Structure 1
Amino acid sequence: MEKLKFTFETKPSIDGKSNYIAITAIATKDDKVFLMPEEYQAISLHKHIQTSKTFFTVKNTLKKRYQTRSVWIKTTEEILQTYLDEDGNMIFQDQFLEEITQEQMATGSKKRLEDPIVKILEKLVESQQNKEKQSIKKLADRFVIEKFDGKSSSACQWMEIFENECARFDIVKEEEKIEIFRLFLEKSCTDWYSSMMIKLGLDSEWSEWKSSFLQTYVNKGWTASKYALFYKYQSGSLLEYAVRKEKLLLEVRKTIDEGTLIDIIAAGLPDFITDRIEKEQIVHTKNLFSELGRLEHLVSKRKFIKKKEDTKPEKKKCSICEKLKKGVRYHSEDSCWFKTNLNTEKDKKQIKLINNSELECELQYEDQKN
């Protein structure tokens, strides 16, 4: 016997909230059909079938509840030992399987599909699934996580927070996790999500999405680390600076010890601030934040004094206007209107002096001749 035909069906779980794939029957090449007992139908009990390539295709095919597919699977030694005994009887976990004809199986499936109770249940299931989709958006509003735009310094830490939030709200299904993942992406990351949806689809495994996300957005350079280390206080609130720098450092390395964290934050503060903080009393970052909050008035006072000096510059009198007796005027000498007149007068005096000296020399020369 080279192959067996397995009938797969998507069935609801006991609570009706999720689906699972079940093996309902096994058929041989001579059209003999054997029913699988209800308690042994879950695919998780059929490990050798679950790891086959054919089952992977079946899993992508069965998307709706109560869908069925009958496919041939090539038998291996493990499959034969699992479903056939030494005499060729169909068994599973030491139990002989019930044999029925193909006609009986087809009739039973038809009756079940036409049963009005089944139809009502299917409608109820669909409405429940729609409600669950709406509730996913409500859950997303309660997630304590920032949206990822591709510029975060640590994609690994962001992904860890996202998975922790999913666990906090009992989002275990891979399909729901992939669906809610989209709500926390923005800018160019939404294009990446659309591409992944085309390549993998919503029925793929979460591990594939996670692996692709980390390979795409993980920061492999030193830019983020250098920016976090050399980030210094420039202006504004001291506390805002300290909180911002702590976030940058933790995004780069979550495992950094608190003492090193305090030292690096303090290194970016002005000297007139750190000189007023006793290092021995700062054991936790919250102690540093408290001290910076206490010293905020120093930054505000410094800013106020500087602004006051800038708004009231010292006025100087124009010396040109004073010399020419044009009154007391306050403007720069370069822009004085009388500057050109003063220069002209200076030139005239200089010419007059030169002419007088030349005349004096000539007169002296003539006297010597005489």
Structure 2
Amino acid sequence: MPKVKLGIDVLLEEKLDLIRGKRVGLIANQTSVNSKLESTIDLLYRHPDVELVALFAPEHGIRGELPAGAKVRDYIDEITGLPVYSLYGDRMKPTKEMLKNIDILIFDIQDVGSRAYTYVYTMELAMEAAHDAGIEFMVLDRPNPLGGVNVEGTLPEISDDRFPAYNVLPLVHGMTIGELALYFNDVLNIGVKLIVVPMKGWSRDMLWEDTGLEWVLTSPHIPTPDAALCYAGTGLLGEIKNLSEGVGYTKPFQIVGAPWIDATSLADELNSRNLPGVYFRPIYYKPFYFRYVGEVCEGVEIHLRDKHAFKPVATAIHILEAINKLYPGRLDFEHSPGFTWAVGGTYLVDAIIAGKSASEILKEWYALPEARERLATFMRLRERYLLY
């Protein structure tokens, strides 16, 4: 029995007046379900007091069928007959034409708590579009699967004009999507008329398994809450072109390896560090697709022994530094610009290449004057928008 009542449940059971009589646009995907796994799209479309007029699709599509990075197209939804407008591809935000017959735009998508994931960028850009169109924007809140306590990493040294939200978040922010919407609306000066429908029963110390809710894969390679928890760290490593993060095998983001790594050596090195909440088991695997197809990779599987103590970003930095220690110069940072974007700058690459230990890297990274000041500002501002 779920301990948490989701925003969509609260809306339909207690706050329907917020949308009654309004023409509704919905940003949704396969994760848009209530606590009984019923689709938000279907619930709103079939409700006699709701007029759902359009759907908007983020990365991976409205039903979650597309791989990472694939363009989403506009089409007519076969089930509802409603137009589905792409928000990932050649267009990243709704146009005024798409919103002209909409009174309120609703966002109801499960995020994974990492800056590197695109759903919060879609939300922020849609908030801008709603403001420009003069309509309301509503967020139906959902749990952060990483919980609401852990904050890791710094804000980016670089900026990305495509996604303003990228520029104001650390790697792990410890906020729900509703809290992020409140934060973005102020910090990015969006100024949209924003309504957040909060959850009931969620607390900041809850990880996904504590909620009693069932998990719906947020994208093709995050099929479980454990994958989401690891993704916040190992998702960064997958941007390195000659490293496998388990995508293409049966445990994406819970494995790190390559054909040139010795599994036992890497596992022994990492386990000697006694990192919190995690054990590294040597693993041998042959990816079915993506990177190193048909080749035997050796590496480590991440076993989460204490999920509350586990620090995904710090763990990922230890993994990288351990690989570089055992195989100096083998990590292909030169041809991996996506890694620089994912971690927010060049400091980590430079420090690893320089042979610094993970402990040194983490200490120096957080102590960099601008990084320290921006993270302190984020932490101070963050407190204003926490709902739980």
- Shorter-chain TM range is under 0.3
Output the TM-score relative to the length of structure 1.
0.24
Q: Higher Cα Rg: structure 1 or 2?
A: 1
Task: Give the structure with the higher percent helix.
Answer: 1
